[in-house]
Amino acid sequence: MQYFNIQVASQLSGVASATIRAWEKRYNAVVPERADNKHRLYSEKDIEKLALLFKLTEIGQSIGKIAHLELEELKLVFTNLMHRPYDELQLVTPHHEKIEYDKILNNFQIALSAYKLDIISHEMEKARTLLSPRDLCLNVLVPLFQAIGTKVSHGELSIAQEHTLSAIVGFHVGQMIGQHYQKKQVKEDLILISTPEGELHEIGILASALLCVHHSIKFIFMGPNMPAESLAQAANALKCRAILLGTTRSEINERQSLVSYLQDLSTKLQVGSEIWVGGNLKPSTREELDKRKISFFPSLEALDDCLSRY
């Protein structure tokens, strides 16, 4: 279920933030969840109820007499008053296009350009509260690091700035992963997430972990730069369903290719774990993966589609 902070709830329901707080305090109209920082978090059902309460007060109903009603009861009130089915009413409900992703991304880039680390961390905290893990991954982190990578290649930002952003993002995503570990997962099959030995970039696998969080999939984030033998030992001990490896190139180092690494990993696996690979690979490498029946995900969107059916 997706949750929204009070500012977004206000925007989507049409009810002012101060009014939402007043309806909560006086009438217990909705009971929001609370984030780790104690800020209110509203579900889509909460927002629909707020929007419907607002619509009913506009046509003369007293908030004190209807605020305690459940959503289904409010729908019936509307139907009886308006003499038409509630389903015909087009209330404001959460849609991704209402979230100002361009503004979120711009705030990150402005703060990074000025080395405003506190602002970057603050923006990341806001994004965590505002967005689902999936939206944070696909609509913020993916386009953000693509834009930053382009700016670094053009000399508009330094590698140090890129690494600084990666560290802050890693910290916040790490907290989300830690919270996920404490929950009982709907899907018990385990996925190990890492990168091959010599591959130090971890933003891709952090983003992959966020998708697992979103889809309530049990996983262990093992970090980057994992030797094949150590990864196989962990997979055998934990009897994992799959190993997800993120990579940015087809050659791990001067001595070993990705294909030879995967071959080494496969020979050491004893529990039938599937091997999944995501990243930017040469067509020839992708052909080799197909021959070895190793699943390849060219994008996080492709991985997301797979996990949604997992």
CATH class of segment(s) 99-183: mainly alpha
The Cα–Cα gap between 292 and 296 comes to: 11
Angstrom distances, CA of residue 116 to CA of 113, 154, 290? 8, 21, 45
Strands 242-247 and 187-194: parallel
Cβ–Cβ under 8 Å, residues 34 and 41: yes
Residues 199/206, Cβ–Cβ less than 8 Å: no
Domains 99-183 and 184-310 share a fold: no
Contact 191, 217 (CB under 8 A): yes
Residues 6+ apart with CB under 8 A from 98: 8, 11, 12
Q: What angle do CA 242, 248, 254 make, to 5 degrees?
A: 105
User: What is the per-residue pLDDT across 213-270, written as a single tens digit (0 to 9) for each?
Assistant: 888 899 999 999 999 999 999 999 999 999 999 998 777 666 778 999 999 999 999 9
Residue 275 corresponds to which tokens in the numbers above?
Answer: 């091997």
pLDDT at 96: 44
Residue 98 has pLDDT above 60, yes or no: no
Q: Is the pLDDT of residue 1 over 60?
A: yes
Burial category of 308 from C-beta neighbours within 10 Å (exposed 0-12, middle 13-18, buried 19 and up): exposed
Mean pLDDT (the chain, rounded): 88
> For residue 259, what pLDDT is reported?
92
End-to-end CA distance of the chain: 18
Q: What percent of the chain has pLDDT over 70?
A: 92
Domain ranges of the chain: 3-96, 99-183, 184-310
> Could you tell me the fold of the domain covering 3-96?
Multidrug-efflux Transporter Regulator; Chain: A; Domain 2 (1.10.1660)
Cα torsion 170, 174, 177, 179 to 10°: value is: -140
**What H or E segment, with its residue span, contains residue 215?**
none
pLDDT of residue 127: 86
Phi and psi, residue 250, nearest 5°? -85, -20
Residue range 168-221, pLDDT digits in tens: 999 999 999 998 887 765 567 899 999 999 999 999 999 999 999 888 899 999
Q: Does domain 184-310 have CATH number 3.40.50.280?
A: yes
Mean pLDDT calculated for residue range 38-51: 90
Burial class (CB in 10 A: 0-12, 13-18, 19+), 85: exposed
E strand or H helix at 290? helix 283-291
Q: Percent helix, strand, coil in the chain (nearest 5)?
A: 60, 15, 30
How far is it, in rounded angstroms, from Cα 309 to Cα 178?
24
Distance CA 266, CA 243 (A): 11
Q: Which of 54, 70, 45, 65 is nearest to 19 (CA)?
A: 54
